[in-house]
Amino acid sequence: MFDVTLPLRWSDLDAQGHVNNAIIVDYLQEARVAFLRSGPASQLLDEGVVVVSHQVEYRRPIDYSDDGVHVALGVSALGGSRLELAYELRQDGELAVRARTTLCAFDFEAQRPIRLKPEYRTFLGGFVTEAEPLRPLAAPHLEGRGTAIDLPVRWTDLDSYGHVNNAKVYDYLQQARITATTTWDPSMARAGSEGSEYLWLVARQDVDYLAQLEHRMEPYAVRVAPAHLGASSITLVAELVDPADERVFVRARTILVCADRRGFKIELPGAIRDALSAHLIDPDQPAD
């Protein structure tokens, strides 16, 4: 396993005083870059590599600390062009996050995957580890359905390859999720505020990257819809699309858990269940 301790920033915290769920994907990226830069696979970053997917399971909040957060990662799968990394993030010895990232060596000029070089495979093979798979989150495709939220891309959202950085997509999904859910039920905007009896906690968020997203002046769109309402949770589906032709760039699944002010899960309030039920999509549609 490769181990690294990442420093935290005060600006990483959200309104609830914990590290924001989207920032966790920044930590995965920082740990991944530190890992690749530690050996010959460092050149992979310079030559070209794309993130194919993320699976992120949030087990407990990460608080601000000068001691940072400890990340252990290993290679849980190694193919001809692709590899999967498995991460565990801990704070004060307690498991906070488990995650998986699938990467693919990529030729940006030819716009196609390429095989990992032998020296990269030798390096990566030294960190192969057994990791328990995360349960897949299947969800129907939206097929143009759901609440559409405008998505302007900022110039600063781009990475060294000239495309939107993978971690920024979690910011986009968060903004769209909050806008959509508070449109469906305005009371959801008050969760966590003074006088509110409950919080919304992100328990899981998986993202599949289907195409590279470029900067442009016209906004893209994020379509959002609830796919399942549990006793205490909501499963949301989101797709980042071009509103002109509904081309899909990103598909995502998010599990939100309703919790009391202490962080213990509680039943979904009846009024919220009723409001979201009106927007549920057909679970029999084609799934990921």
Position 23 pLDDT exceeds 60: yes
Q: Model confidence over 229-272: pLDDT tens digits?
A: 999 999 999 999 999 999 999 999 999 999 988 888 999 999 99
Q: How far apart are CA 209 and CA 212, in angstroms?
A: 8
Q: Are 86 and 231 within 8 A, CB to CB?
A: no
Q: How far apart are CA 229 and CA 103, in angstroms?
A: 32
Q: How far apart are CA 243 and CA 56, in angstroms?
A: 28
* Half-sphere exposure in the Cβ direction for 88 (13 Å, CA): 16
List the domain boundaries for the chain.
1-134, 137-288
Q: How far apart are CA 156 and CA 141, in angstroms?
A: 30
Position 9 pLDDT exceeds 70: yes
The domain 1-134: what is its CATH number? 3.10.129.10
- pLDDT the model gives residue 101: 98
Query: Between residues 209 and 194, which one has the greater pLDDT?
Result: 209
Q: Are 147 and 136 within 8 A, CB to CB?
A: no
Provide mean pLDDT across the span 85-99: 97
Q: Which helix (H) or strand (E) holds 24?
A: helix 21-37
Provide mean pLDDT across the span 141-151: 96
Residue for token pair 């000029």: 109
Cα 186 to Cα 18, 95, 160, 194, 263, distances in angstroms:
23, 34, 39, 16, 21
Q: Model confidence over 119-143: pLDDT tens digits?
A: 999 999 999 999 999 999 988 999 9
Tokens of 139: 């969800």
DSSP state of 234: E
The gap from C-alpha 69 to its chain's centroid, in whole angstroms, comes to 18
- pLDDT the model gives residue 192: 61
- pLDDT the model gives residue 214: 96
The domain 137-288: what is its CATH number? 3.10.129.10
Position 283 pLDDT exceeds 60: no
Q: Which helix (H) or strand (E) holds 206?
A: strand 198-209
> For residue 67, which amino acid is it?
D
Position 284 pLDDT exceeds 70: no
Q: Model confidence over 217-233: pLDDT tens digits?
A: 999 999 999 999 999 99
Q: Model confidence over 186-195: pLDDT tens digits?
A: 888 776 666 5
Number of helices and strands in the chain (H, E): 5, 11
With a pLDDT cut of 70, the percent of the chain lying above it is 95
- pLDDT the model gives residue 189: 76
Closest to 257 (Cα-Cα) out of 123, 61, 7, 86: 61
Provide mean pLDDT across the span 146-157: 97
Contacts of 11 (CB under 8 A, 6+ apart): none
Query: Between residues 106 and 189, which one has the greater pLDDT?
Result: 106
Concatenating the DSSP letter of every residue in 80-121 gives: SSEEEEEEEEEETTEEEEEEEEEEEEEETTTTEE-PPPHHHH
Indicate if 137-288 has the same CATH topology as 1-134.
Answer: yes
Q: Model confidence over 26-84: pLDDT tens digits?
A: 999 999 999 999 999 999 999 999 999 999 999 999 999 999 999 999 999 999 999 99
Provide mean pLDDT across the span 101-116: 95
Closest to 199 (Cα-Cα) out of 151, 243, 265, 287: 265
